[in-house]
Structure 1
Amino acid sequence: MLPLVLQTLSVTAPVFVMLFIGVLLVRLRWIDGAFIHTASTLVFKATMPTLLFLSVIKADLDAALQPRLLIYYILATVAGFLLAWAWAIWRCPWADRGVYVQGAFRGNNGVVGLALATSLYGDYGLSLGGVLAGLVILLYNSLSAVVLAIYSPDGRADAGDIIRSILRNPLVIGVTSAIPFAYWQVPLPEWLMTSGEYFAQLTLPLALICIGGTLTVSVLRESSSLAMSSSLMKMVWFPLLATLGAWLCGFRGAELGILFLYFGCPTAASSFVMARAVNSNHQLAATIIVITTLGAALTINVGLFLLHWLGWI
């Protein structure tokens, strides 16, 4: 059990350090609201799409393309999204529903999930996790764009507005533009790949510093009830139901373990970036990210322990 705890902490602890740096920089007045707005825009429109593009074109499709597992993951993710949405209609104020739903289903698979899958299952975890990450990035961003557009503070969106918000979403563009390069294995110049990687590496530090910069005691207090509800759905109910469903569908061993890790990941930092980009309650999004990242050290390890104990992985 202790090695699993240490593995999880080794992935989640750096996230907390960057969040704390964001809090500290605001307290020192080295950054302010204008910087956070500009940096969040840069992440959303440029660095994160670059990161997603590179992630997709580097995925080993031949080694890890498992249609049955990928189809199950898509169906489970959509089901979790719809469940969170139904709960939000009953539980949340209208203006916060989009952020609540996004926080409840959108996991940090590209960082936490992939790192843990690789740590536990080696090259197989890296290959299968990379393909899953590329797939769900497109799915997450499309579903998030829909629910955030519907509950946009700028007014209700019609079907055309929703479609346009998906097609214009820089994160969706980053993934879809990479698919032809990955499928036909089109090589890019090494200097271009290196430059892209330098640029993409700005994504996570900038996003986490911006999240930390928006956190205050008053924000945490005001958002605590809704954030805790969304976080419990993300860290407990969704991984519990989705992993049990995967077991009933016959998944065992490394496949079931990787599915659990991806279902149980804390909420992605990109949910804050998207919420801020559409003028939604980005402070609620930041609080959900903090709670789920903190909770991941407990819930992921307990889940892995139970799956080992039951002999399912």
Structure 2
Amino acid sequence: MLNIFLLALPIYILLSIGFLAVRLRYIDGAEVKGFGSIILKIFLPAMMFLAITGNPLNETLRWDYIFAYAVGSLAIYALGFTIVRLSGRSFGDAAIEAMGMSCSNSAFFALPVATLVVGPEVALQCFALAVLVENLLMIPMAVSLCEVGQGKAPVSVRGVATSILRNPLTVAAIVALVWTGFHLPVPEPADQVLRMMAPVAAPVALLIIGGSVAQLSLRELDGGVARIVIGKLLGHPLAVALVFMLVPSVPDPMRVAGVLGAGVPMISIYSLFGQRFGRLGLTATAQVLATILSFFTLTVALRFLQP
């Protein structure tokens, strides 16, 4: 058990450093946002491109993994949505709560965690596939349902497509898929640059998460917060793990990375969606608690999942 604790500890030390740096005003919150933009728009797309072009397309684009991760995520979204509605909350509340249960912070949290456990090669591949599921399916679907819950017309297909294509990770994935599909070689200087950038993104991403959480606050504690946190840290990884059991072709290291990815806190911009849809207190509180409690849930998960 001590080995598992020591494996998880560096992750939360980096989170704590980022948290304290902002809380103690050593780093301004605006600087954290700037670092986050650099990682999101430059380093993570570079890693995405490297992950997809590093192997033949038929090896990188694992449809069995995509299927299992997508079905598990959709299952917890549907279950969470139904539970919230049965509790008497509105359609909009159900949509935003279910979003928190089913959309993981793959870029800033899952990738560093999986890298420590299964190594950078498997972690990068699973990160690329998870980002495709989240950015092409889960987030557009969740935002569309939130819009419906606000009494607005559903977003158009064109609007969803535009939003997807503005995401640098999605753009990097599409470019990499086309590049690999045409069997184009990555020039040696470009490959070297990408490999120099890859080790930087994961630790800096954890610092950014810590600094971002330091700028949030516990504004409300109610049943909705509890539902979101339980659904995200327990329901989502369990749902993904169950579907992986039905898809035996997925290699064990990828299963581990997938379950860990489902078990991390929700997407970093969850509180921004909460603000947009009038539930900032709910989403910010859930995000803070999920980040804190994930130390314990991920430590337990590592106990059973470590290869």
Q: TM > 0.5 between the two?
A: yes
Q: Distance in 2 between matches of 1:24 and 1:170?
A: 29
Task: Report the residue type matching 2:186 in the other structure.
Answer: L
Which residues of 2 match residues 40-59 of structure 1 at below 5 A? 40-59=36-55
Which residues of 2 match residues 43-122 of structure 1 at below 5 A? 43-59=39-55, 61=57, 67-68=63-64, 70-87=66-83, 94=92, 97-98=95-96, 101-106=99-104, 108=106, 109-113=110-114, 115-118=116-119
Alignment check: 8 A CA contact 1:55 1:130 kept = yes
Shift of 1:139: 0.8
Alignment check: 8 A CA contact 2:4 2:302 kept = no
Aligned to 1:138: 132
Alignment check: 8 A CA contact 2:44 2:201 kept = yes
Aligned to 1:195: 193
SS at match of 1:106: coil
| Sequence identity percentage | 19
The superposition leaves residues 65-96 of structure 1 with CA deviations (integer Å, 9 ceiling, x where unpaired) of 66545533433333334334444556778479
Report how many aligned residue pairs link the two structures: 292
SS at match of 2:27: coil
Alignment check: 8 A CA contact 1:43 1:203 kept = yes
SS at match of 1:29: coil
The superposition leaves residues 76-120 of structure 1 with CA deviations (integer Å, 9 ceiling, x where unpaired) of 33333433444455677847954762453426453323543459x
Shift of 1:16: 0.9
- Tell me the TM-score normalized by structure 2: 0.73
Aligned to 1:244: 242
- Tell me the TM-score normalized by structure 1: 0.71
Q: Distance in 1 between matches of 2:77 and 2:97?
A: 12
Shift of 1:20: 1.0
Match of 1:166 among 164, 185, 201: 164
Pair 1:285-2:280 in alignment: no
Q: Distance in 2 between matches of 1:162 and 1:195?
A: 32
Q: Distance in 1 between matches of 2:16 and 2:174?
A: 34
Distance 1:169 1:245, change over 3 A: closer
Q: CA RMSD in A?
A: 4.0
Q: Distance in 2 between matches of 1:293 and 1:226?
A: 21
Q: Which piece of structure 1 moves more, 97-106 or 182-191?
A: 97-106
Q: Distance in 2 between matches of 1:69 and 1:217?
A: 35
Shift of 1:270: 8.3
Alignment check: 8 A CA contact 2:111 2:202 kept = no
Alignment check: 8 A CA contact 1:52 1:175 kept = yes
Task: Report the residue type matching 1:51 in the other structure.
Answer: M
Shift of 1:297: 0.4
Task: Report the residue type matching 1:234 in the other structure.
Answer: K
Uncovered stretches (5+) of structure 2, i.e. residues with no partner? none
Distance 1:54 1:260, change over 3 A: closer
Pair 1:14-2:10 in alignment: yes
Uncovered stretches (5+) of structure 1, i.e. residues with no partner? 120-125, 306-312
Q: Distance in 2 between matches of 1:205 and 1:58?
A: 22
Task: Report the residue type matching 2:209 in the other structure.
Answer: I
Match of 2:33 among 32, 37, 59: 37
Shift of 1:187: 2.0
Q: Distance in 1 between matches of 2:3 and 2:27?
A: 33
SS at match of 1:195: helix
Distance 1:90 1:214, change over 3 A: farther
Match of 2:297 among 281, 295, 298: 295
The superposition leaves residues 222-279 of structure 1 with CA deviations (integer Å, 9 ceiling, x where unpaired) of 46865543332233233334433443x3638x84674255124365578215755996
